[in-house]
Amino acid sequence: MGNVIGIGASPKRKEDQRFLTGRGNYVSDIKRPGMTAGVFVRSPHGHAVLRGIDKSAALASPGVIAVLTGEDVAADKLGSLPCGWGISDAKGVPMKEPPFPMLAQGKVRFVGDMVAFVIAETPGQANAAAELLTVDYEVLPSVVGVLEAVRPGAPQLFDDVPNNICCDWELGDKAAVETAFRKAAHVAKLSLVNNRLIGNPIEPRAAIAEYEPGTDRFTLWTTSQFPHVVRFLMGALVLNIPQHKLRVVAPDVGGGFGVKQFHYGEEAVITWAAKRVMRPIKWVASRSEGYVSDRHGRDHVTEAELALDEHGKFLAFRVNTLANMGGYLSTFGPNIPTNLYGPLLGGVYTTPAIYCNVKVVFTNTVPVDAYRGAGRPEATFVLERIVDVAASEMGIDRVEIRRRNMIPKEAYPYQTPVLVQYDSGDPMGCLDGALVAADVKNFGVRKAASASKGKFRGLGYSTYVEACGLAPSRFAGRLGARGGLYESATVRVHPTGQVTVMIGTHNHGQGHETTFAQIVSEKLGVSFENVDIVFGDTDRVQFGMGTYGSRSLVVGGAALSKATDKVIAKGKKIAAHLLEAAEVDIQFEAGNFSVAGTDRIKSFEEIAGAAYVPHNYPLEVLEPGLEEQAYYDPVNFTYPGGCHIAEVEVDPETGTVTLVNYTAVDDVGTVINPMIVEGQLHGGIVQGVGQALFENAVYDEGSGQLLSGSLMDYCMPRADHMPMMKVATHSTLCTHTPMGVKGCGEVGTIGSPAAVINAVVDALAHLGVTHVDMPATPNRIWRLLQNASLPVAAE
Amino acid sequence: MKPFAYHQPGQIPDAAKLLTSIEDSKLVAGGMTLIPTIKQRLASPVALVDLSKLGSLKGITDDGATITIGAMTPHAVVAASRLVQTKIPGLAALASMIGDPAVRNRGTIGGSVANNDPAADYPAGVLGLGATIVSSTRDIAADKFFLGLFETALEVGEIITAIRFPVPLKAGYSKFKAPASRYALVGVFVAKFADGVRVAVTGAGPGVFRVPPMEVALSENFDPSAIAAIKIDNDGLTSDIHAEADYRAHLVTVMAKRAVDAALS
């Protein structure tokens, strides 16, 4: 028995012992015998013809072992970096999918596009040689913004992609929406930009590759959120390495946020190169290199219209978006602004007709892909902003208009007009809870106090829902997914009763080693300390799709729960034999197998021992050993949601927005570890606040240079930007996951940007301000106030 | 970073000699700007001359009508100095706003002034107080020292040994931090002396500068209201992705008012 720490408890995180004592094991900590250093030479131009590369000076530089370019890749007939999703337009025409070579061939298409890989004895020598590489570029005009990219005459990235449009995607009933708009009493309109973001995990990307000629096996250590997927994509589709000859290890990883859930060209190049030079190679990105090579997020330009009847009921919603893909299609790229965006435009409302058109556009920028929230923050932002615009224009209170349109708790399961069916939820309950927690009734007092100091105070709401727990494979397959999205877990009970779990998700900050151990401790009645969670190594873990889309607990935890159930089921058979009872009479409770209604009992440890020392064991009908595996493919997405309320104070003299209060009441289903959930909510909210107030990836139109290319110019949210947050959960149980869980990794990032911007607009509404684009920087707010002709009184 | 020679002279003349005799040598004080620049391979000096062994360059002395701060004195020491807090609280406040704790513990006043970053804080304090830059060879008035973007009156081999600050009647600094870097987007230092007021602005343009109309107005009436209507010209001010010139110009007035407030409080 011992120390069971189960569901609902908040033990300190197991993994923090090693992290907080400096004993983590990250890729850049790993050293291999004979290891060399690799450096990527990247394009300094946004768009250029690659006329030739002269390797001679670099090759002659001290310590240089090899210099590889796109020509070498072509000569070895290696594959293009694959895109995991294939979307189609309304007529079923597949998206344009130009090749994405791992080292540029013929052209470079963004600043940071890789043109060569230099391998030397030391990083210093590799860097010195990289500077000697002569690359002959014919510089072309760059196009970086989506509006500019689709204009006639815009620079064209690919010969066979007219107007740079990858796909003209749509969702929903266009005719029904048009009909509803004709009947509308009021139409609210909104144009907005969803700003481009850079993920900035604290650990930069890194990789080590090694080839063992004796076994003809490759090993890649990489900063990845999904090592098995890298093994599949890279081995099967890029490098033609059989799966059994390729091991991918993602050890401790210092944050991902989506940035590390793609198969990157660097991984393929370094693995391929390791065999060519017959030496292990290590590459560690600098922060600056990450800025021009880590996949970016968001970057939409949107026109939205909401049709309402005279009572403020939503009749129809129409959204037209241009979404930036960057220079090539990344692993999930085209899926994010389409399948993870359009289906969320229903929000928590009963809007009967929705139509969404998304033009997915190539530009001379870093490829854009999933970043925490991925599509859902963008959808939530459009919807929650336009609800406020409609309320303001119709003179209806912002909370009231939400109530009038919210899906009532009793109406679940609720089928939206945009594919998804919400299984459970209580948006009104979250709203009511948040109104109290945020002390909204005394907001007027606080606003007056701010006014007395010359400040404008505003309150903003975001009542949102998201879809996560990626994903039901069959559903995803219909939408264009080219892989499955299930998860797997193996529960290995040792002869002494301790447990090792091998799971296909990846822990890079989420606390899986703790949360999953709690599930096992609860279900098997074993000590929390006696459960270890193994992940991130294709040689140790059977299979897995990794961690992203708030899926680890929802899908991986479900697989773990199922595998644990199988252990109990087998344990009952063993116990029935040992206790000389019928299997149906064996019950398992608190770590003991017993015969119902008797005091005959066998502990979990005794059963484990019997399974591995099967002297008295039903070998004729039962295999020895106690290890079970389960794969779980969800039947639906999960739909966490909630209500976020932001309160800001604006200094009209400088335009500075200060977030002064933040309240979140979220429905994340069953909570396994409240402390970890709270931490996820805190982190997610701060990331969303970062998008709303600070973060912006800015490119120079024409040259394609990234102007916000370092932490000196790209503003990340900091501790002193945040007030103490009030976070709480108001959970309804997911009806289809084994434990009722919904996932919590992204809710904060999804709910918060709209809440913050709605608060900023509220603070400035009396001046006629109706919208503020993100990030709401002091410069931008001051300019809005200038245009609003605000008389700023002298003090 | 590329390899370089490293020298740690024990005497100022030795340091000066190294700097004049080795082409492409660089003096390193706290290294808060130089070391990152070298790491990013944006600078590749062949030799570094480190002043950290020159103990005489550290420390703060009270000379009565002036206080003298040794060139190698870190920002954190200035910020925490009882003497500076008492005699020129605005200067202690300025030092406390530079960078982050790590930068304040390593970065030095001499390094900052010699580097003359257009968004650094110290140049505003030095010019605003009309300080004297004491070098290995001469005394240079602040008004003659700062020559624009990273340019100063220092000659090759000339080493700042101290900054001598006249003690004002009142002084204050107000800084609007650039959101990401937390350098001064606009920082204004005001100092009131018996014979008039000085106003120095950093961050807004290619180098620190004074605002004579504000100095005249504040000399007559040392109150924020005296300068509320004084707008400086956008011409020549910096525009970048964080702020256009007109916003910076606006902030100069706002920060100047707040600096006067700080000086009065």
Domain ranges of chain B: 5-166, 170-264
- Closest alpha carbon within chain A to B1: A124
- Mutation site, A197, A654, A714, interface B, largest B CB count within 10 A: A654
- Residues A361-416: tens digit of each pLDDT: 999 999 999 999 999 999 999 999 999 999 999 999 999 999 999 999 999 999 99
Whether residue A779 and residue B247 make contact (CB cut-off 8 A), yes or no, is yes
Say yes or no to pLDDT of A558 above 50.
yes
3-state SS assignment for residue B231: coil
A712: closest CA of chain B, how far (Å)? 4
Q: Does B239 touch chain A (CB under 8 A)?
A: no
| Mean pLDDT along residues A440-447 | 98
| Mean pLDDT along residues A499-510 | 97
Backbone torsion region of residue A611, taken as left when φ is above 0, otherwise alpha when ψ lies between -120 and 50, otherwise beta: alpha
Interface of A with B (CB under 8 A): 124, 127-128, 131, 288, 653-655, 694, 696, 698, 707-708, 711-716, 777-779, 782-783, 794-795
| Token pair 């336009």: residue | A386
- Count each helix (H run) and each strand (E run) in chain B, helices first: 11, 12
Whether residue A712 and residue B180 make contact (CB cut-off 8 A), yes or no, is yes
For the domain bounded by B5-166, which CATH number is listed?
3.30.465.10
DSSP state of A505: S
CA dihedral B21, B24, B25, B28 (to 10 degrees): 150
Percent of chain B predicted with pLDDT > 90: 96
Reported as a pLDDT band with limits 50, 70 and 90, residue A793 is: very low
| Mean pLDDT along residues B177-192 | 97
> What pLDDT does A684 receive?
98
Whether residue A713 and residue B224 make contact (CB cut-off 8 A), yes or no, is no
Percent of chain A predicted with pLDDT > 70: 99
- Closest alpha carbon within chain A to B99: A712
Say yes or no to pLDDT of A574 above 50.
yes
Residues of chain A with CATH 3.30.365.10: 16-22+486-632, 296-470+636-787
Question: In A, which residues are within 8 Å of B251 by CB distance?
Answer: 654
Q: Does B237 touch chain A (CB under 8 A)?
A: no
CA–CA gap between residue A565 and residue A576 (Å, rounded): 16
Whether residue B242 and residue A713 make contact (CB cut-off 8 A), yes or no, is yes
Reported as a pLDDT band with limits 50, 70 and 90, residue B1 is: confident
- Residues B115-159: tens digit of each pLDDT: 999 999 999 999 999 999 999 999 999 999 999 999 999 999 999
Evaluate whether B178 touches B251 at the Cβ level (below 8 Å): no
A653: closest CA of chain B, how far (Å)? 7
- Closest alpha carbon within chain A to B239: A779
> What pLDDT does A794 receive?
37
Evaluate whether B154 touches B164 at the Cβ level (below 8 Å): no
- Closest alpha carbon within chain B to A786: B247
Nearest Cα to Cα of residue B199 among B255, B245, B247, B239: B255
Question: In A, which residues are within 8 Å of B243 by CB distance?
Answer: 778-779
> What pLDDT does A604 receive?
97
Other CB atoms within a 10 A radius of the CB of residue A483 amount to: 15
- Judged by average pLDDT, the poorest of A121-130, A311-320, A476-485, A785-794 is A785-794
> What pLDDT does B2 receive?
80
- Domain A296-470+636-787, architecture per CATH: 2-Layer Sandwich (3.30)
End-to-end CA distance of chain A: give it in Å, rounded: 70
DSSP state of A395: T
Q: Does B241 touch chain A (CB under 8 A)?
A: yes
Whether residue B180 and residue A716 make contact (CB cut-off 8 A), yes or no, is yes
Evaluate whether A593 touches A602 at the Cβ level (below 8 Å): yes
- Residues A746-772: tens digit of each pLDDT: 999 999 999 999 999 999 999 999 999
> What pLDDT does A789 receive?
61
- Residues A169-226: tens digit of each pLDDT: 999 999 999 999 999 999 999 999 999 999 999 999 999 999 999 999 999 999 999 9
Other CB atoms within a 10 A radius of the CB of residue A311 amount to: 11
Q: How many residues does chain B have?
A: 265
Q: Does B225 touch chain A (CB under 8 A)?
A: yes
| Mean pLDDT along residues A256-279 | 98
ipTM (interface pTM)? 0.95
Q: Which CATH class is domain A16-22+486-632?
A: alpha beta
Question: In A, which residues are within 8 Å of B176 by CB distance?
Answer: 654, 778
Reported as a pLDDT band with limits 50, 70 and 90, residue A2 is: confident
Can you name the CATH fold of B170-264? Enolase-like; domain 1 (3.30.390)
B228: closest CA of chain A, how far (Å)? 6
| Token pair 């900052």: residue | B112
Interface subset of B 14-33, CB within 8 angstroms of A: none
> What pLDDT does A772 receive?
97
Whether residue A777 and residue B229 make contact (CB cut-off 8 A), yes or no, is no
- Closest alpha carbon within chain A to B229: A794
Evaluate whether B228 touches A794 at the Cβ level (below 8 Å): yes
Average pLDDT, chain A: 97
Reported as a pLDDT band with limits 50, 70 and 90, residue A281 is: very high
Strand partners, B141: B132
> What pLDDT does A234 receive?
98
DSSP state of A204: P
The domain over range A33-140+202-255+260-291 is classified in CATH as 3.90.1170.50: yes
A656: closest CA of chain B, how far (Å)? 10
3-state SS assignment for residue B178: coil
Say yes or no to pLDDT of A795 above 50.
no
- Residues A576-629: tens digit of each pLDDT: 999 999 999 999 999 999 999 999 999 999 999 999 999 999 999 999 999 999
Question: In B, which residues are within 8 Å of A716 by CB distance?
Answer: 180
> What pLDDT does B41 receive?
86
Say yes or no to pLDDT of A113 above 60.
yes
> What pLDDT does A790 receive?
52
- Residues A27-61: tens digit of each pLDDT: 999 999 999 999 999 999 999 999 999 999 999 99
Chains A and B form CB pairs within 8 A to the count of 51
Cβ neighbours for A295, distance < 8 A, ≥ 6 positions apart = A199, A258, A259, A262, A326, A330, A333, A366, A367, A368, A369, A370, A371
Evaluate whether A589 touches A603 at the Cβ level (below 8 Å): no
- Residues A58-90: tens digit of each pLDDT: 999 999 999 999 999 999 999 999 999 999 999
